[in-house]
Amino acid sequence: MKEVPENCISEILSFTTPRDACRLAAVSKAFRSAASSDSLWDKWLPAHYAQILANSVSPITFSPKKQLYFHLCQSIFLNGGTQRFWLQRPTGKVCYLLSSRELSIVWGDDERYWGWSPGEVANSSFTEVAEVKKVAWFEVKSKFDCRLLSPNTDYSLSFLIKFGPRPIGWNVLPLKFSITTVEGDEVKSGRLLRDREGASIDPNLKIAPLNYQSNGWIEVVAGEFTVKAYTDSEVPRYVEFSMKEVDSGRWKSGLFFDGVRIQPISA
């Protein structure tokens, strides 16, 4: 029986996932060779991977493409260290963690209200972390270009926060979160941070789930959105997001803010 050409096997494998390709490599020598080809792994690398390599804090050399893929699964720093980028190992889906320096913080440049501490103080993912000294108007907002994410993928967006030794004012009214999609749809949620059950929330406002991390950080899931396959790659496609508590008028302090995580929703 005539063997199937390697390029045909590679084309078939491209309709699976990186995890499947690694498993199928054990089938035969031909499958193993096809599962390691640059043409296959190039399809699972993000379309803008050259830009990622150019923005990496540490130089990245790679050969072959499969090696690059698994290197990018380990998380790398971009934009001078204010972003972290990685690929989901089983699927190749793009993930980002944006530091607090990447975001717009109201009064964030005024040392009376906000401070910047070394990352190790709060076990941050970055070299420095934003700290609320004393604010009545608490608001963080920004936007992100969805062209840098994986197309045809559902994403979640989360804010990473941690309480300091003496937090004040966070149990009066809930933080409110908002996500505005490329299409203009708005997703709203809220959370009373000092209550795990999210009590005292507006009954019309969805309660934002909390995930408690082993390093002490709290991941507040603001909401979900879908990234589509945009045909015009030259036009920015922004998702906008915010976190705020501006209604109580109460002074708030003792909170660290690490940044925003944007990652695919697990199947």
**pLDDT band with cut points at 50, 70 and 90 for residue 34:** low
Instruction: Please state the pTM of the whole predicted model.
Output: 0.88
User: Given this model, what pLDDT does residue 201 score?
Assistant: 62
Strands 210-212 vs 218-227: parallel, antiparallel or unpaired: antiparallel
In this predicted structure, the answer to whether residue 251 has a pLDDT above a threshold of 90 is yes
- Tens digit of each residue's pLDDT (9 = 90 or more) over 99-120: 999 999 999 999 999 999 998 8
Best CA proximity match to 94, nearest among 145, 35, 160, 60: 145
Best CA proximity match to 77, nearest among 127, 120, 41, 149: 127
User: Is the peptide bond between 64 and the residue preceding it cis, with omega within 30 degrees of 0?
Assistant: yes
**pLDDT band with cut points at 50, 70 and 90 for residue 2:** very low
In this predicted structure, the answer to whether residue 135 has a pLDDT above a threshold of 80 is yes
User: Given this model, what pLDDT does residue 1 score?
Assistant: 32
Question: What size, in residues, is the chain?
Answer: 267
In this predicted structure, the answer to whether residue 12 has a pLDDT above a threshold of 80 is no
Specify the long-range contacts of residues 183-189, CB closer than 8 Å, at least 24 apart.
185/225, 187/222, 187/223, 187/224, 187/225, 188/223, 189/221, 189/222, 189/223
- Tens digit of each residue's pLDDT (9 = 90 or more) over 69-101: 999 999 999 999 999 999 999 999 999 999 999
Q: Who wins on pLDDT, 26 or 119?
A: 119
- pLDDT above 70 coverage of the chain, percent: 85
**pLDDT band with cut points at 50, 70 and 90 for residue 196:** low
Tokens standing for 236?
């920015």
